[in-house]
Amino acid sequence: MPTREPIRCDVAIIGGGISGMIAAVRASQGGRSAVVFEKSPDARYVCNSRLTAGIWHCCLTDVMDDPRVLEERIMETTGRKARPDLARAVARDGLRVVRWMQNAGIRFIKGPYDYQSFMLSPPTITPQGRQWEGRGGDVMLRTLEAELERNGGKVLRGHRATKLLKEGDAVCGFAGEDDGGQSFTVLSSAVVIADGGFQANNELTRGPISPQPERVFQRNARTGMGDGMTMAVEAGAALSDLRGFYGHVLSKDAFGNDKLWPYNWLDYILAAGIVVGADGKRFSDEGLGGVDMANAIAASDDPSDKVVIADSRIWEERGTFGLLPPNPRLLDAGATVYKADTLEDLARQCEVDPESLAAEVRRYNAAVASGQASALEPARTAGKFQPYPIERAPFMAFPACAGITYTMGGISINADAQVLTATGNPIPGLYAVGCATGGLEGGEKKGYVGGLVKSSVTGLRAAEHILNQSVTLA
């Protein structure tokens, strides 16, 4: 087989999701030759960006708010563990990147909640299943690709990067393999890693995410394998704390029923009731909400034995709350829901210790009634979600699982998306953007900032930093 000539470009982007496409388009607008290398050979390759609900927010706060307020929200949400320069960049550029996207032809509508000033149009959120074709994320990626082509750039599908190439300390390209098994080489003055998180790679998630990642449901495009992160480490990059992911608590039946993901969540039901294991005991603070509980379920010794316990009042009031409430959609989609007039009978149905569950609910109800839920072990906070007593029959149980959307940790970067070594120095020529990166979300507190705002801002800032450099290859 003849040797392929190296592919030469100014900016080589690994991954065709939102962060990579924004980086490519912005670099091409500045006159750089930009090529996106997407490992999927499909014309409309499925990635998290194509499945996204498409809501731009910063810690569930409107990106139109004062950047100083947003910056403080990020620091509070992350337990002040976020890199200050990243927090400042995302807070200040969240609105700017939306305006840039609008100028590139991306359409937005107002979402249903106050903080949702910008939701991709047409909306992707649907009652059941993944109906993404012709909707927000799909239209966004196709619009960005068309803009890239107008500027002389392109997307090469079926091209997977396998190893970064270096000259001295600088990255100068990468090696890869196409979908036909042929090797190729890319030479470029800048490489941008934009291949998403590592959520679909059980070897990488085992430990920082879960002791049993095969029992965590992949609420995502199932393409995030952490290839870019692995290559970056081999090239000398440091990693952030890899703990923490964005996701939700789903019906356990999602493992065999495609109608039960990515929606409807059990988040609002559990935030009013309790979550127990097979021993009938609580193990985490339900008052922190669904993202935190999904992390707690995944990190538990057995992520497969968790059950959300509620009563008829919670089901009627909190089960009907939200944009896509689970009542009655979970039942309509075929999710398993147990009902009984006593907690003991309910426990037997869902294979939970009956005496232990009844005792746990008694303790919980007494604490709620006395306003002392925070004294429970583990504590049950009420700052975000008010606890309800579980006392009105029929009682209900929902076998649950943690659904992971994207990992929050990853490659260490600065505010310009330059990849950093363990000593904090940038690796020349190497950038990382979007959910391939860490340092903003995740860690011990697992503070959720927002995947779209992080991805779009880092993609834009990486390209703009590259444009400020003078070296080109094309």
Rounded Cα–Cα distance for residues 312 and 318 (Å): 10
Strand partners, 275: 308
pLDDT score, position 473: 45
pTM across the whole model = 0.96
Rounded Cα–Cα distance for residues 6 and 227 (Å): 21
Same fold, 7-242+408-467 and 246-404: no
pLDDT score, position 469: 87
Strand partners, 38: 157
The answer to whether 28 and 151 have CB atoms below 8 angstroms apart is yes
Which tokens sit at 109? 């509508």
Question: 220 burial class (0-12, 13-18, 19+ CB within 10 angstroms)?
Answer: buried
Which tokens sit at 44? 């409309």
pLDDT score, position 153: 98
pLDDT score, position 1: 45
**How far from 66 is each of 18, 88, 94, 399, CA to CA, in Å?**
25, 12, 11, 41
pLDDT score, position 470: 59
pLDDT score, position 126: 59
Which residue bears the tokens 């608590």? 249
pLDDT score, position 4: 81
pLDDT score, position 129: 54
Q: In this structure, are strands 183-193 and 7-14 parallel, antiparallel, or unpaired?
A: parallel
pLDDT digits (tens, 9 = 90+) for 400-424: 999 999 999 999 999 999 999 999 9
pLDDT score, position 270: 98
Q: Which stretches of the chain drop beneath a pLDDT of 50? A: 1, 128, 473-474
Q: Determine the angle formed by the axes of helices 136-150 and 18-29, rounding to 10 degrees.
A: 30
Task: Reduce the DSSP state of residue 268 to 3 states and report it.
Answer: helix
What are the sequence ranges of the domains in the chain? 7-242+408-467, 246-404
Neighbours of 156 (CB within 10 A): 17
pLDDT score, position 130: 62
Q: Does 7-242+408-467 carry CATH code 3.50.50.60?
A: yes
pLDDT digits (tens, 9 = 90+) for 21-47: 999 999 999 999 999 999 999 999 999
pLDDT score, position 474: 44
pLDDT score, position 133: 84
CATH number for the 246-404 domain, one of 3.90.10.10, 2.40.50.140, 3.90.700.10, 3.30.1490.20? 3.90.700.10
The answer to whether 280 and 356 have CB atoms below 8 angstroms apart is yes
